[in-house]
Amino acid sequence: MPPPITLLTDFGIDDAYAAVMKGVILTRDPRATLVDITHAIEPQNIRHGAFVLATAYRYFPKNTIHVAVVDPGVGGERRGIILKVAGSLFVAPDNGLLTYVIDQLNLNDDVVPDSGTEATMIRLKRGIEAVSITDPRFWRTPVSPTFHGRDVFAPVAAGLSLGLSPYEFGEKTDVLTVLPITRPQRMGPGETVGQVMHIDHFGNLVSDIRSSDLPPGPVEVYIAGCRIDGISHNYLGSGELLAILGSSGYLEISLRNGSAARYLEALVGDEVSVRAIA
Amino acid sequence: MPPPITLLTDFGIDDAYAAVMKGVILTRDPRATLVDITHAIEPQNIRHGAFVLATAYRYFPKNTIHVAVVDPGVGGERRGIILKVAGSLFVAPDNGLLTYVIDQLNLNDDVVPDSGTEATMIRLKRGIEAVSITDPRFWRTPVSPTFHGRDVFAPVAAGLSLGLSPYEFGEKTDVLTVLPITRPQRMGPGETVGQVMHIDHFGNLVSDIRSSDLPPGPVEVYIAGCRIDGISHNYLGSGELLAILGSSGYLEISLRNGSAARYLEALVGDEVSVRAIA
Amino acid sequence: MPPPITLLTDFGIDDAYAAVMKGVILTRDPRATLVDITHAIEPQNIRHGAFVLATAYRYFPKNTIHVAVVDPGVGGERRGIILKVAGSLFVAPDNGLLTYVIDQLNLNDDVVPDSGTEATMIRLKRGIEAVSITDPRFWRTPVSPTFHGRDVFAPVAAGLSLGLSPYEFGEKTDVLTVLPITRPQRMGPGETVGQVMHIDHFGNLVSDIRSSDLPPGPVEVYIAGCRIDGISHNYLGSGELLAILGSSGYLEISLRNGSAARYLEALVGDEVSVRAIA
């Protein structure tokens, strides 16, 4: 029984695009176990896809193949890549979709930029296995210039599922594309300022602040002009608005039995500040 | 080949939460067949989840494991439970999510309350197997106080899929939490008054009135000030607005080729009355 | 390992209807591999379902069983059918849901009408295997007059998955129902006029114009009063609005990094014109 293959795309679930990728995979490896991570990534929003992918991959079995397709540059010069790291294989366009995976697993030798909006190439640490998908032997032909998910990435994933080495699909590369990642700033010992990275289905505001970024001792959290007293251990604390270390390890702002995003009219990029109580 | 594992949650399909539960299950039992019932339960709406679960479980293979997570009390005092009944295993927070399953299968010794809004504990009939999930051996650690779906319920489901007895996961209990269930009222022999329990994807209004609740002979159905003449056998009867005994056994109000909910501006809780024709 | 079973319906994913079909299938064939094509077909829109089905089936493994249920006539006189063609089995109500499959595979002996709105019966070519589902042996009983997906089509699909011949389920038929299909018109050698057939998740406007319908040489594309200069090879051409031969073989109008449908306020049925440059 081969490891699962996961799919993350911005294809939506109204059309057959995601299903077509599954059909191509099952045609080549009928034993494949397919799991949708999501197909609701905002169209062409690579950063959104990169973030959701990074919240998911670590919970899958060893050697799971993660196929991610958010691909505004399809049909152009951007490469397709395979990245093999401890326990996971990733198949994706080389456009920054693996940014948070690379950052979390500390695969980069060069520093991932923390400002700007442009994607940049960074060098990987020695020993990291990455492959540029260049060998057309496994592709469907002719390759549609608008649907590499079907004609390139799905066939490559099926080939990996069948046990082929990543090196069968192209040449080793030691650089990959990343997007800049904002980091929370320590404003002296008593304050950390971060921002909202993601808003989830419940309207929870997921910030980029981790436990290790917090000032020591009791704190207050500020967002959108609201003050939250302390960090709660669950959704049952006093007060309606809560700050809590969420299940992905980031500080989240939640509204008890409601949507913090709607209540605060908050957006991705909004500032979140944590201050030690004087 | 183990029985399927179904998932019903309020997690939505935009984030990776549901996929993460699948990853955890497949890590522990790679043979698992996973089926989504839905992830579109209204956030924190236990009653909604309880109703949809009760429309689905009976159509799955014997010994199917149904994991249901609508869990506003996660991280607090509420228990996790396993309920084993003829042909099905349920894994869920003990917050009323199994109310309609318990009621349909007549598992309760105490009466399920028919008014009020508070959840209450009821005693199960002798011989019903229910387990309070208390043994942390199978949980992921540390357990996130906000995501027991990932750290408790998915691992327990995988353990059951591997063939472990429910009693491996905690101690037998003979009480479970239920929500009050409204029942249609007989207003003398000629009239039954019920209410809309659920509005489905097509805008059909699913009431709590069953065939056995109907007055004998020809009837009229009243809803939102509209009169419907008789109960149709299919969607093809005369008239635009139809009353029909739906596929789950409840009386439904439908609009031919349209949404009765939108047409009538109807809501869950609206009154539905069936009167014998004088 | 049996071939996959795909599901395409207008049931949505908020209720358990699609899951119930899966439960019924897995009860009868626990080995079944189930793949959702989509459950987001517009309610009762047979043409929409027919189009999406026709974009998907060819990418699945040989002998895949495609179950399609968009069924406003459920419970009435319309037949259920099985259609077996090179590499695929279809199970569906006989209401036009297979129109584009029949047209693409050229299964019809009679001409598929190109105007009007009514469904019509057409004769199939000799040798095409189609079966009218009339034998209740495999159905769930009693059959709900509103949910043949659960009680007829799912059981038939499971039976086919178990290896039964289509002829076990009813009698051979040589006529099937189709909807009229509009065709692009050649207005002399220099112009082709078609229409928008489908709007996808990205807001791409999928027309009914194929490569072979295009005038020779350089062209301009007109839609909603906008002129598009030439046909692009990918989404990276100059200009914001692009015409491109999409992954299904039809001419599509796209907006770079945006929704052409929203930008042009376009609807299914809008005219698309391609003119040779004078």
Contacts of C44 in chain B (CB under 8 A): 257
Contacts of C48 in chain A (CB under 8 A): none
Q: Among B16, B34, B144, select the one facing A37 at the smallest CB separation.
A: B16
Query: What tens digit of pLDDT does each residue of B153-184 get?
Result: 999 999 999 999 999 999 999 999 999 998 99
Is C23 close to B247, i.e. CB distance below 8 A? no
pLDDT on residue C239: 65
Kindly state the average pLDDT of the residues A50-77.
96
pLDDT level of residue B234 (50, 70, 90 thresholds)? confident
Low-confidence ranges of chain C (pLDDT < 70): 237-239
Among A146, A157, A122, residue whose Cα is nearest residue A21: A157
Six-digit token string for A11 = 């294809």
Domain boundaries along the sequence of chain C: 4-178, 185-276
- R_g (Cα) of chain C, nearest Å: 20
pLDDT on residue A189: 82
Measured at the CA of A107, the angle between CA A106 and CA A110, to 5 degrees, comes to: 95
Contacts of A234 in chain B (CB under 8 A): 74-76, 145-146
pLDDT on residue B137: 96
pLDDT level of residue B257 (50, 70, 90 thresholds)? confident
pLDDT on residue A111: 87
Contacts of B206 in chain C (CB under 8 A): none
Is A16 close to C61, i.e. CB distance below 8 A? no
A239, pLDDT greater than 70: no
B89, B82 in Cβ contact below 8 A?
yes
pLDDT level of residue A237 (50, 70, 90 thresholds)? low
Q: Among C14, C26, C76, select the one facing B38 at the smallest CB separation.
A: C14
Six-digit token string for A15 = 């059309």
Among A192, A186, A183, residue whose Cα is nearest residue A273: A192
Is A19 close to C1, i.e. CB distance below 8 A? no
pTM flag (> 0.90): yes
Is C59 close to A150, i.e. CB distance below 8 A? yes
CATH topology of B4-178 equal to that of B185-276? no
C46, C179 in Cβ contact below 8 A?
yes
Kindly state the average pLDDT of the residues A65-92.
95
Burial of B72 (0-12, 13-18, 19+ CB in 10 A): middle
Contacts of B244 in chain C (CB under 8 A): 145-146
Measured N-to-C along each axis, helices B17-28 and B154-161 cross at an angle, to the nearest 10 degrees, of: 30
Is C35 close to A34, i.e. CB distance below 8 A? yes
A111-120, A227-236, A262-271: segment of lowest average pLDDT: A111-120
- Give the CA count within 13 Å in the CB-facing half-sphere of C210: 6
Q: Cα dist. B204→B55, B246, B247, B252, C245 in Å? A: 15, 9, 12, 6, 40
Contacts of C4 in chain A (CB under 8 A): 23, 26, 30
Whole-angstrom Cα distance, residue B61 to residue C3? 20
Neighbours, chain C (3 or more CB pairs < 8 A) = A, B
Query: What tens digit of pLDDT does each residue of B99-123 get?
Result: 999 999 999 998 888 877 789 999 9
Measured N-to-C along each axis, helices C17-28 and B46-56 cross at an angle, to the nearest 10 degrees, of: 30
CA B163 to chain centre: 25
What is the per-residue DSSP string for chain A? Answer: -PPPEEEEES--SSSSHHHHHHHHHHHH-TT--EEEEES-SPTT-HHHHHHHHHHHGGGSPTTEEEEEE--TTTTSSPPEEEEEETTEEEEEESSSTTHHHHHHTT-BSSPPP-S-S--EEEEBPTT-EEEEE--GGGS-SSPPTT-HIIIIIHHHHHHHHTT--GGGGEEEESEEEE------EE-STTEEEEEEEEE-TT--EEEEEEGGGSPSSSEEEEETTEEEES-BSSTTSSSSEEEEE-TTSEEEEEETTB-HHHHHT--TT-EEEEEE--
Whole-angstrom Cα distance, residue A14 to residue A141? 26
A93, pLDDT greater than 70: yes
Whole-angstrom Cα distance, residue C136 to residue C18? 22
A161, pLDDT greater than 70: yes
CATH 3.20.20.70 assigned to domain C4-178? The reply is no
pLDDT on residue A233: 87
Whole-angstrom Cα distance, residue B81 to residue C68? 37
Is C75 close to B236, i.e. CB distance below 8 A? yes
Q: How far is C14 from chain B (nearest CA, A)?
A: 5
Query: What tens digit of pLDDT does each residue of A185-236 get?
Result: 999 889 999 999 999 999 999 999 999 999 989 999 999 999 999 999 888 8
Q: Cα dist. A166→A98, A138, B173, C204 in Å? A: 17, 12, 52, 34
pLDDT on residue A117: 75
Q: What is the ipTM of this complex?
A: 0.96
pLDDT on residue C233: 87
**Signed CA dihedral, C257, C259, C262, C264: sign only:** positive
Whole-angstrom Cα distance, residue B241 to residue C2? 43
pLDDT on residue A196: 97
pLDDT level of residue B214 (50, 70, 90 thresholds)? very high
Q: Among C15, C30, C75, select the one facing B234 at the smallest CB separation.
A: C75
Neighbours, chain A (3 or more CB pairs < 8 A) = B, C
Q: Cα dist. C79→B78, B85, C134, C176 in Å? A: 51, 38, 8, 10
A238, pLDDT greater than 80: no
Q: Which CATH architecture has domain A185-276?
A: Beta Barrel (2.40)
pLDDT level of residue A141 (50, 70, 90 thresholds)? very high
Six-digit token string for C23 = 């439960």
Is C76 close to B234, i.e. CB distance below 8 A? yes
B19, pLDDT greater than 70: yes
B277, pLDDT greater than 80: yes
pLDDT on residue B237: 66
Whole-angstrom Cα distance, residue A144 to residue B74? 47
Q: How far is B242 from chain A (nearest CA, A)?
A: 29
pLDDT on residue B239: 65
Whole-angstrom Cα distance, residue A29 to residue B238? 51
Is B75 close to A233, i.e. CB distance below 8 A? yes
pLDDT on residue B238: 62
